Chain A
Amino acid sequence: TQLLEQSPQFLSIQEGENLTVYCNSSSVFSSLQWYRQEPGEGPVLLVTVVTGGEVKKLKRLTFQFGDARKDSSLHITAAQPGDTGLYLCALRRRGGSEKLVFGKGTKLTVNP
């Protein structure tokens, strides 16, 4: 059973549209991170959330951590072609080591 589920797996939208991608687990996290990976590059950290109910904003990106600390969402407003990439969530389990467990990602394509 996959520890961390991301949905949707693929998403193709037009420039200017809004979108939300999700990250869910049956386990409680101590912290969760979102990364973006562009083709031919390694993932780059976008944000870390640690408190249940926490909301963080990064320009047009809004990250939310569920109250029970088992789920998270990423909302992009007015998507642009530069947002195209693979969005990965990663968690540290409660009481676990510092090793991250990654989801399989959501591949986002924003068409001009």
Chain B
Amino acid sequence: NAGVTQTPKFQVLKTGQSMTLQCAQDMNHNSMYWYRQDPGMGLRLIYYSASEGTTDKGEVPNGYNVSRLNKREFSLRLESAAPSQTSVYFCASSEAQDRLYGYTFGSGTRLTVV
């Protein structure tokens, strides 16, 4: 089925470790996004990429980096994980420039930093 694929689904890290969350979409969308979801805080935008080759900071970018590897793939990297980064991370994609078009989300990565 077409959609957004995220890996891994679950991850436990020790404080200070690094890891990369992978995201790929097969809908030929231009725009891709990384959100984190925490209880009582809703979905908060970390980084986004309006098109291949561009990335921009969102609401909560500190402690993260991203790479738009090609049109399909958008990865999120934690260089030195902290307990405050324990969260559920969602990748999404959309067709830019179309306000009628919604986001397609992956099923998330549940990250715990101990």
Among B14-22, B66-74, B79-87, B92-100, the stretch in contact with A: B92-100
Query: Whole-angstrom distance between the alpha carbons of A27 and B49 in the complex?
Result: 25
Residue of A nearest to B95 (CB): A98
Interface footprint category on A:
20 to 34
| Contact of B99 with A104 in the complex, beta carbons under 8 Å | no
Residue of B nearest to A33 (CB): B102
A interface residue numbers (CB < 8 A to B)? 30-31, 33, 35, 40-45, 48, 50, 88, 90, 92, 97-100, 102-105
16 more contacts with CB within 8 A, not counting A43-B105, A98-B31, A98-B96, are: A31-B100, A40-B108, A41-B108, A42-B4, A42-B106, A43-B43, A43-B90, A45-B104, A48-B99, A50-B99, A50-B100, A98-B50, A98-B98, A98-B99, A99-B58, A104-B42
B interface residue numbers (CB < 8 A to A)? 4, 31, 33, 35, 40-43, 45, 48, 50, 58, 90, 92, 94, 96-108
